[in-house]
Amino acid sequence: MQSLKHHFLMALPHMEDPNFTGSLIYLCDHDHNGCMGVIANRPLEITLDALFEQLSLGGDDSPHRNAPVYYGGPMHKDRGFILHVGDSQAWDSSIQVEDGIALTTSMDILQALADGTGPEHFLVCLGCAGWEVGQLEDELKENAWLTVEGQSNVLFDTPPAERLTAAAGILGIDLNLMTRNAGHA
């Protein structure tokens, strides 16, 4: 099995699952136990300021208070997943996805963001996406997704509405030109 950790999953235009239609997913883990990632292009209508307030973290002076919170996926929607630039060693519950990109689920990183001392580049996601062993591979065989190696500039420097297009552009593909219908020769 080839690991797709640090890869983008791009939903193809015929994706009908409303949880994933039009989604760009960044895969944070993929091994013999399954696969897990976060949707990186679906900001919710709440900002970190609301999250800081709900969690009583302060943050009134945080430079990050107007940052969007993202819909990370349909699983564990009550949990926060913070994808960020930096080292996983700095936080209590963190995994290093790729050199320079980590995923953290502990409250200490949210407190640091509220205090203005957290990572400069980050996505705060509520929920995640996950697949059981073999499930994602089956979906790939059914042509539900395109994959390409992840790039931090797409995650952190590209506006959310342009991330899916930017990731497809890595492959030289324009998803707007793809059709939902299959042809027969």
Instruction: Report how many domains make up the chain.
Output: 1
- Model confidence over 135-144: pLDDT tens digits? 999 999 988 8
3-state SS class at 38: strand
Q: Are 61 and 116 in contact (CB under 8 A)?
A: yes
Task: Using pLDDT thresholds of 50, 70 and 90, give the confidence band for residue 182.
Answer: low
- Model confidence over 122-181: pLDDT tens digits? 999 999 999 999 999 999 998 889 999 999 999 999 999 999 999 999 999 888 777 655
Q: What CA–CA distance (Å, rounded) separates 48 from 114?
A: 8
- Model confidence over 7-64: pLDDT tens digits? 999 998 888 889 999 999 999 999 999 999 999 999 999 999 999 999 999 988 999 9
How many CB atoms within 10 Å of residue 120? 10
Output the six-digit token pair for 12.
């193809």
The CA–CA distances, whole Å, from 96 to 5, 27, 67, 91, 162 equal 11, 12, 23, 11, 25
* Residue 133, domain extent: 5-175
- Its pTM surpasses 0.85: yes
* Residue 71 maps to a domain: yes
* Residue 180 maps to a domain: no
User: Residue 171's domain is classified under what CATH number?
Assistant: 3.40.1740.10
* Phi-psi domain of 116 (left: phi exceeds 0; alpha: psi -120 through 50; beta: other): left
Q: What CA–CA distance (Å, rounded) separates 165 from 178?
A: 12
* Residue 99 maps to a domain: yes
Q: In this structure, what are the phi and psi dihedrals at residue 14, rounded to the nearest 5 degrees?
A: -85, 5
